Structure 1
Amino acid sequence: MKLFKKLALLFSVLFLFSSFNIDSDKSYVGKWKGKDKGDIGFITLSSDNYATFEFEGRVMGGKSYMQQGLNAAMTYTVDESTKPYKIDFIMINKENNSELGRLLGIINMITPDEMEMAIGFDGSSRPSDFSSNNITFYRHKE
């Protein structure tokens, strides 16, 4: 009888743990507003992993945009296994699905509505901290 109780308890615990879906945080998904040297810009990180930058009325990224005469898209990936999270912005040539370039960055979710980001521009390496090339973004609620 003790063996039966132990097995029942074991199966109950296994069922309980398997019924929860452990998913990633993804609190970074949404539209964000940031200010850099007095200029205001937006970044949108969609749930289907497309990234869009808006600055001074210009839009770059998303599912389809023109980059140097090429039909391109911009996607992003986030590695949540590190703190801060690693983020890659990937520009893709839609004609042949080849990678045009990649911006490497890091993000830190300060609160669900505040995100700090640092990006290595011009193909430089991923920043290791937020001491330079960083912007604080606030969730944009329309």
Structure 2
Amino acid sequence: MKYLQRLGFVMVSLLLLSSFTTAQEKLVGKWKGQDKGDIGYLILTEDGYATFQLEDQVFGGKSFEMRGVTSKMTYEIDRSQYPNAIDFIITNTDNNKELGRMYGIIQMLSEDELQMAMNFETKERPADFSKDQIVFERMK
């Protein structure tokens, strides 16, 4: 009887642990999107780094140059709101000072499709996906 109780406890524990996948874990990977005919990539790493790539231009990651300053770009997800918020944070790697933040919203359309909207004109987070949105497909 104790064996069955332990087995049941282990199975329930494993089930609960596997069901609590964080939003960041679901987003980790390389994503491909198309905007106004241009194909670009978004790379989100397990350790919180974000990279945008358009043709041969790379913006973000663990180390990149921005206006002569060595910087890095990380991301944070806020699941407490809907749609979920995503911030891309640019930080000076020399003094760890935040240089800027881009505000966006995201939602998973499926396991392999991600919709994102960013506001490039102001520092306000978009309220919905009606403007400046792009759908990314997970690269496998």
- With normalisation by structure 1, the TM-score equals 0.83
Q: Which runs of 4+ in 1 moved over 2 A?
A: 15-23
Partners of 1:83 and 1:131 in 2: CA distance: 15
Classify 1:23/1:111 alpha carbon distance in 2 versus 1 (closer, same or farther; 3 Å). closer
SS class of match (1:27): helix
Deviation at 1:140, TM superposition (A): 1.2
| Mapped contact 1:102–1:123 kept (Cα < 8 A) | no
Larger Rg: 1
By how many angstroms is 1:122 displaced?
A: 4.3
Q: Secondary structure at the match of 1:130?
A: coil
How far is 1:70 from its partner?
0.5
1:104 match: 103
Counterpart residue identity of residue 45, structure 2: S
Q: What number of residue pairs does the alignment pair up?
A: 130
Aligned residue type for 2:87: D
1:134 correspondence with 2:133 = yes
Contact 1:103 1:123 in 2 (8 A): no
TM-score if structure 2 supplies the norm length?
0.84
Deviation at 1:86, TM superposition (A): 0.4
Q: Secondary structure at the residue paired with 1:127? A: coil
Structure 2 match to 1:78? 77
Which residue of structure 2 aligns with residue 39 of structure 1?
38
Tell me the percent identity: 48
- Once the two structures are superposed, the pairs formed by residues 1-142 of structure 1 within 5 Å of their partners are 20-21=16-17, 22-25=20-23, 26-141=25-140
Q: Which has the higher helix share?
A: 2
The residue type equivalent to 1:70 in the other structure is V
Q: Which runs of 5+ in 1 are unaligned?
A: 1-11
Distance 1:99 1:92 in 2: 4
| 1:27 to partner: Cα distance | 1.3
- Determine helix, strand or coil for the equivalent of 2:63: strand
Structure 1 residues 69 and 122: CA distance shift in structure 2, 3 A: farther
